[in-house]
Structure 1
Amino acid sequence: MATSRTDWLDHGLEVLARDGVDGLRIDRLASRLGVTKGSFHHHFDGASGYRAALLEHYEQSTLRELSTAIDERRDEGTRATLEWLVDLATADRASIRRAELDRAVRAWAHADPAARAVQSRIDTRVIELLQAAWRPASDSDATARTAALVPYLVSLGAAVTIPPISAGELRAVYELLLDAVPGAASD
């Protein structure tokens, strides 16, 4: 079976989420994928090139998924958009909340400037996207930003809590926050 660049990157994100950045060893990745290290070198210029590509892949997929989710409901108003995001963030196979991966990248960012730059761009963009979702229901950009920070900070806190917060508990917290969102009639 041929292993594509995307296969290597997707598998790398799984390993990163499970084992942290130290698990991103070429020999281990190749073994888990059932391929030779030659396959790796066909797609990447060494371990540093792989890590850079992995960070880029993580950034693009994270922002694409959230942006798509928000765009799908934007015309329905702030509350509908945020309710949709709660559904996506708390589903069994959450597409926009990957707590283990988020923890691993944030830990990596503490020790690596490239990972820190990626995490900074992600945090900035996620807050901007949430702020844009909140803006129609807010009286100012500042109010929309503050409103956007609340669920994002809850998400970050839930991602690092030990033992982990269950999806059900997180959903209950988000639903409590949804009570502060103006209803469709106010949007």
Structure 2
Amino acid sequence: MTGTVRRFTTADWLGLGLAALAEAGPPALTIEALCQRAGKTKGSFYAHFAGSEAYLAALAEHWRERHTRRLVEAARAEDRADAQLSALDQLALRLDERVEQGMRRLAAVDETVRRVCAEVDRERIAYLAELHQVSGRFDAADAQALARLEYAAFVGFQQIDTGAGEAGAAASYALFLKLTGRA
């Protein structure tokens, strides 16, 4: 059967949303803009989502799964805490930071996305704290404090222009590893 158009799946719509968010920010997430980008009708969109609010909630959960839970799962495949931290670092650095930036901008205007972002922040910090404590270099309180600092730096480097460029960010990261005994 030639000329058959593949049906757009829920996963297709969510992947499209993350790409649109990365490229053009929250304004690209209107139903009209998404349908135009996909080359699909509104009927196709509504076959998967009750409306814009349902779509944004699903998009936030999709982001959580792809940008947090999958990374944690992959890092946990390593046997030692230091190896897990290293794997997590490498995986996180490969993510498109524009998605993170876009999700944070979206959280500023959507309560459901704001809630998911806050939950993701807590999940990420908890995992980092667990790894720092299991490493044996930090007690529970210091591991938690270090996790907060590390995560704040990670998000901060994505959100602000430090003027350091890629080389400066790499140097800052190397210093962080040295200060925490990981280098």
Q: TM-score normalised by the shorter chain: which range applies?
A: 0.7 to 0.9
Contact 1:159 1:165 in 2 (8 A): no
Distance (Å, rounded) in 2 between the aligned partners of 1:164 and 1:18:
22
**Which of 1 and 2 has higher RCO (CA within 8 Å, sep 6+)?**
1
What is the number of equivalent residue pairs in this alignment? 177
Which has the larger displacement, 8-17 or 157-166?
Answer: 157-166
**Unmatched segments (≥5 aa) in structure 2:** 1-5
Q: Deviations over 1:133-157 (max 9, x none)?
A: 1112334211111121222111111
Question: Which residue in the other structure is 1:174 paired with?
Answer: 173
Q: Which runs of 4+ in 1 moved over 4 A?
A: 163-168
Q: Deviations over 1:19-44 (max 9, x none)?
A: 22221122221222122222111111
Q: Are residue 31 (structure 1) and residue 15 (structure 2) matched?
A: no
Which has the larger displacement, 158-167 or 42-51?
Answer: 158-167
Question: Which residue in the other structure is 2:127 paired with?
Answer: 129
- What is the Cα-based RMSD across aligned positions, in Å? 2.2
Alpha-carbon distance change, 89 to 164 in structure 1, aligned in 2, over 3 angstroms: farther
Q: Are residue 69 (structure 1) and residue 74 (structure 2) matched?
A: yes
**Unmatched segments (≥5 aa) in structure 1:** none
Question: Which residue in the other structure is 1:113 paired with?
Answer: 111
Q: Deviations over 1:38-89 (max 9, x none)?
A: 211111111122112111211222221231233022x2232x3222233223
- TM, length-normalised to structure 2: 0.85
Alpha-carbon distance change, 53 to 111 in structure 1, aligned in 2, over 3 angstroms: same
Contact 2:71 2:92 in 1 (8 A): no
Which has the larger displacement, 170-179 or 159-168?
Answer: 159-168
Distance (Å, rounded) in 2 between the aligned partners of 1:37 and 1:164:
43
Which residue identity does 1:27 align to in structure 2? Answer: E
| Among candidates 49, 52, 62, match of residue 47 of structure 1 | 52
Percent identical:
31
Which has the larger displacement, 54-63 or 151-160?
Answer: 54-63
Contact 1:70 1:133 in 2 (8 A): no
- TM, length-normalised to structure 1: 0.83
Secondary structure at 2:7's aligned position in 1? Answer: coil
Following TM superposition, by how much is the alpha carbon of 1:164 offset from its aligned partner in structure 2, in angstroms? 7.6
Q: Are residue 151 (structure 1) and residue 150 (structure 2) matched?
A: yes
Q: Are residue 82 (structure 1) and residue 85 (structure 2) matched?
A: yes
Contact 1:158 1:164 in 2 (8 A): no
Question: Which residue in the other structure is 2:159 paired with?
Answer: 160
